[in-house]
Structure 1
């Protein structure tokens, strides 16, 4: 019995411990962005954030930047557009909803990935993916409108929900080009494109360059640094951490966002907290696969 229990024991490795710390930092960024929206328009903030990340990665990887291929340029272009749409809409939504709400709704991108793969690649989701979608959608109804008791979403919640589609598309695009491109070159291109697209979206949104306060600049540059470090660290750690374990760790992102939001004074209703728990559960369930039992073939006598 003890041997059977030992088989299921989760021994924390260095890489997993670092991913947990990264997830905590990730969760804390929602509170920072939410506060920054009181001083800046969303697309200017996102533009500065990803310009900083692109510049930092360029300085670190400049020796390997020669010889861009057409595939790398196109991959970086499309991924960058998806990032700009995802983070731009998410940040726009945080002008009117709390960081905790944004984090829980954003977590919906995980169960949405199998649905988009089915829609565009013809890959049918498994039963656990469907279960995860149902749980996450039920949680969304509780997180988005606990007071209304209906299906009426606010503009900020709708924008955040749309951002999850763009983030899910980003993941599918990254998977499609994995192994065919140089990761460092594509990452720099996608961050630069995301920054440029965000700045171009400022006039349609009625934005102008805000007053550059120390907190605003510190937040944008700090999140740019965090984005670069998170990207590099995830690529390093996931070489030895299984996708299932990584997903379990990443599912804690909205939980940490809720913890930091609580410390900052955010108070979500009980129904919204229950909805957040259902979304996290949906994220976890969608990543587990059912294994079919294989029949033992009878031994053949010789």
Structure 2
């Protein structure tokens, strides 16, 4: 047996079009961090998350208004469940950041990478291939390196627990999308999950003690702009994960900090050597997960 790249003599692309689409949205994710960083200086985090996702939900509702008429009970339930995980992922991470450092938050959030294949294996009885495990390990090491040396200062406080739960919510979102993607219409379930995630963020504002911010063109334009980005991201995830497994999608999603770092560097930020090494590990993880073994069958080589 030997290892080959996920392309063949006939010229098949290294990544499928679904995987390429997921890589594209991780680039968009990376770009959004600069905008979010600017916007939360003029708005509370829950308000901004609510604005972002409700705007995205209303946009998709208008674009897919004809398809919405056919909304099924399964799509409503599945979309609501995914919407809850979207809210928990953003909300709990934001809560955690109030008492822990951003590097510790990045490290704990990165735990969603090994969580997805483990849950998929234990619950769905789908063990990943050896090369997929290798890709997961490389991507996780890369994320840890990107988080920096201070990331290991982890305690058992409320912030750490909340961030761990946010990582579990992110893992649950990816798995739920993979579970229902082939059984629902992508546009309809996207509308539901965006609206639910946004409304839950607004609903949590009084509980978190967050008030409606003073008007600012910054949070308004940023929220609407990221609403468009969020609509595209969630729609692509729902479409692409019809063909891409949750585990492989997770490895691709792990490359998001790489794009964020590149865009930050373009904006003038300096990347420390450890972060650059982390980016290399993540890219290596994505590539390794795409390798496929080839075995001889009746004197010929064929891809597994």
Taking structure 1 as reference, are residues 242 and 253 closer, same or farther at Cα in structure 2, changes over 3 Å only? same
Distance in 2, matches of 1:134 and 1:16, equals: 19
Q: Which moved more, 1:17-26 or 1:127-136?
A: 17-26
- Superposition CA RMSD, Å: 4.1
| Deviation, structure 1 residue 156 | 7.6
Structure 2 counterparts to residues 82-161 of structure 1, below 5 A: 82-90=85-93, 109-147=112-150, 150-152=152-154
Contact 1:107 1:280 (8 Å CA) reproduced: no
User: In structure 2, how many angstroms separate the alpha carbons of the residues matched to 1:8 and 1:97?
Assistant: 47
Match of 2:194 in 1: 191
Greater shift in the superposed pair: 247-256 or 273-282: 247-256
Question: Matches of 1:51 and 1:117 in 2, distance apart?
Answer: 30
Which has the larger displacement, 257-266 or 104-113?
104-113
Query: Which protein is richer in strand relative to its size?
Result: 2
Aligned to 1:48: 51
Matches within 5 A, 1:207-226: 207-226=210-229
For 1:27, the equivalent position in structure 2 comes to 30
Residue 77 of structure 1, CA deviation: 1.2
Are the structure 2 counterparts of residues 35 and 157 from structure 1 closer, same or farther at C-alpha, using a change threshold of 3 Å?
A: farther
TM-score by length of 2: 0.75
Q: Is 154-163 or 177-186 further displaced after alignment?
A: 154-163
Structure 1 position 291 matched with structure 2 position 293: yes
Correspondence for 2:166 among 163, 172, 183: 163
Which runs of 5 or more residues in structure 2 are unaligned? 1-6, 300-304
Counterpart pick for 1:80 among 80, 83, 86: 83
Q: How many pairs were matched up?
A: 291
> 2:117, 2:15 → 1: CA distance?
28
Whole-angstrom distance in 1 between the partners of 2:20 and 2:294: 32
63-72 vs 17-26, which deviates more? 17-26
Is 1:39–1:210's contact at 8 Å kept on the other side of the alignment? yes
- Measured after TM superposition, the shift of residue 269 of structure 1 is 2.8
Does structure 2 conserve the Cα–Cα contact (< 8 Å) formed by 1:76 and 1:189? yes
Shift of 1:178: 2.3
- TM normalised by structure 1 equals 0.76
Match of 1:227 among 230, 233, 248: 230
Aligned match for 1:38, one of 38, 41, 65: 41
What is the Cα deviation at residue 267 of structure 1? 3.3
In structure 2, the CA distance between the partners of 1:212 and 1:105, relative to structure 1 (3 Å rule), is farther
